Chain A
């Protein structure tokens, strides 16, 4: 076991939309086998950051490195080729198609010009079993599945391209408790498979349940990077809302900084 290069390393990312400075100097790292939570209030810049990572938006300043290689995505396809899989909140599944058809939509296995249904079904089962997924059948339409099962299918599909990083946007937002449990267990499976996972969520309970590190964004800036196992909900909430960012704490931080190194203030 040796120190690994992070699967995703973003340094000094800034993004401006016209007059709105959406992101300012954001730094974020995700290692293999690590689940990082990205939390923040509405308008904190989570979605912008995700869109930048998944290649939907460009960025103005800063660098992104995927598995140690500096990249700049011109399209979502480029991000996917680089090993970044994104599962968006709406899942982008076709309700009328069955699980196999959804998994392989646009990337079907062919054998002599016709669909190789047998190979695809086999691969589907392998994939779903590796995630310990509770899908009763791969030949039922997506419309017949529960919210948690749909999320599972969407995540399984993202794994087909053997990504290094899986990004999940609000995977538990519309789910009941039993389905949430299923998705959280699934995230633990992804971690065991040594994938980097970036989890964006508003639910503190879910983020704290599975994340190794929790990165807080506030008003487009980094508001802290916390250890998932030793950080209380109160600390996270105060970082999200800015309650911990006041004159007293700023002065304390400045004083402690002045004690160690000389910085012009």
Chain B
């Protein structure tokens, strides 16, 4: 498994392996690190020494099984922030230092219609566990950012459109988190935060006008202008998933007809599966398509065609510099993106020759998590 090659590249690979193992465990003793990476204790000891000197890792002394042990964690600056992404079917929560680098992370699958109280209680327990793993106490947490798959009304803190997240209607999300954890919290739409993260640290770094589309269980989007998301009056700006591409199309969960989401959301994609494929779920469609299954590939390609059409209409209004597509569906890369480009160029105004590039996001499915961390960090700065 270990790569072969020059001494230098071997050392690089071993360092990466070590850092990855520490990140996965949060905190781990040096002896255990040798087992977890498969490297010899001497090599681990050297790597830990080097990386501690370089400021990547931090060591402290602990007692395990009655023996003195060196506890290794990722180095962190003063104070911690928490990023939380409560997705449609997943909960991701991460501890990061104020420079936004993640020191420990948890992931948990969620039921399809989860409720705010139960999910946030679980998140609070997971946060406790994360703090425990890196040996920090809750007083060190200075802010929390929460990403949810629905627009948040900036005035009330509730979801701006009731019914999108049934179990979360009428809940002031930031306030509910603040009550559980006892430190300042702010909440935002996951697509918005993902778009901002891509514009700040991802593929759209330094680009002034960016249109971001997140193709996940639901479809969301945002326009980021000069690093600032344009969320509109009620926080529902950029909802490209609810742009109608066919007025006679299927009903959408928002109550309208023919929304982009009713064609390319998770429910729409799995509903297309024939009986022989009916045991596949949304994640399977993505992995089977990537593995070369023609039928799943076709479902993804058709989704790309619809997305390109909606992006074309949006860009006719906005004329942006770059279009970024993220979310689970974009994990299929060119299978999705080349039909998106094709349909975008066919439908956009004056697109030939001067169309903005359409690219996949760099931060992948964890973009909203990075965005939530960014939200917490920016709240600190104010």
Contact = CB atoms under 8 A, between A and B. Distances in A.
Is B one of A's binding partners? Answer: yes
Given A139-B35, A140-B65, A185 B110 contact: no
Interface in B272-326: 275-277, 279, 281-282, 284, 287-288, 293, 295
A229 B35 contact: no
A136 B28 contact: yes
Interface of B: 24-25, 28-29, 31-32, 35-36, 38, 65, 89, 91, 106-114, 118, 121-122, 125-126, 128-129, 267, 270, 275-277, 279, 281-282, 284, 287-288, 293, 295
Contact of B281 (A177, A180, A229): A229
B24 A229 contact: no
B113 A125 contact: no
Nearest to B288: A1
Interface stretch (A81-89, A151-159, A202-210, A254-262): A202-210
A1 B129 CA distance: 41
A149 to B, nearest CB: 11
Contacts of B276: 1-3
A1 B65 contact: no
A37 B91 CA distance: 20
B60 to A, nearest CB: 16
B279 A205 contact: no
Nearest to B217: A229
B111 A204 contact: yes
Contact of A232 (B24, B109, B113, B279): B113
Contacts of B31: 137
A237 to B, nearest CB: 12
12 contacts: A1-B276, A1-B295, A31-B279, A33-B279, A134-B24, A137-B31, A140-B65, A144-B65, A178-B125, A181-B126, A209-B108, A228-B112
Contacts of B121: 177
Contacts of A137: 31-32, 35-36
Given A2-B276, A178-B129, A181-B106, A230 B32 contact: no
Interface in A59-114: none
A209 B107 CA distance: 12
Contacts of A207: 111
Contacts of A231: 112
A170 interface: no
A232 B112 CA distance: 8
Contact of A34 (B114, B118, B279): B279
Contacts of B129: 176-178
Given A138-B35, A177-B122, 8 more contacts: A1-B295, A3-B275, A136-B36, A137-B31, A181-B107, A212-B281, A231-B112, A232-B113
A125 B28 CA distance: 16
A144 B64 CA distance: 10
Nearest to A178: B129
Contacts of B111: 204-205, 207-209, 233
A40 to B, nearest CB: 18
Contact of B32 (A136, A184, A185, A188): A136
Contacts of B109: 184-185, 188, 209-210
A10 B126 CA distance: 38
Contacts of A209: 89, 108-111
Contact of A125 (B25, B38, B118): B38
B118 A178 contact: no
Contacts of A204: 111
A100 to B, nearest CB: 11
A87 B151 CA distance: 42
A129 to B, nearest CB: 9
Contacts of A34: 279
A137 B112 CA distance: 35
Contacts of A31: 279
B356 to A, nearest CB: 35
A43 B107 CA distance: 34
Given A1-B277, A178-B126, A125 B107 contact: no
A34 B270 CA distance: 15
Interface centre among A134, A138, A181, A230 (most CB of B within 10 A): A181
A140 B284 CA distance: 36
A230 B282 CA distance: 12
Nearest to A184: B109
A112 to B, nearest CB: 25
A13 B225 CA distance: 63
A134 B125 contact: no
A233 B106 contact: no
Nearest to A140: B65
A188 B277 CA distance: 18
Counting from the closest, the 8 A-B pairs by CB-CB distance are A208-B111, A177-B125, A178-B129, A136-B32, A181-B108, A209-B109, A3-B276, A137-B35
Contacts of B267: 229-230
A144 B63 CA distance: 13
Contacts of A232: 112-113
Interface centre among B35, B65, B110 (most CB of A within 10 A): B35
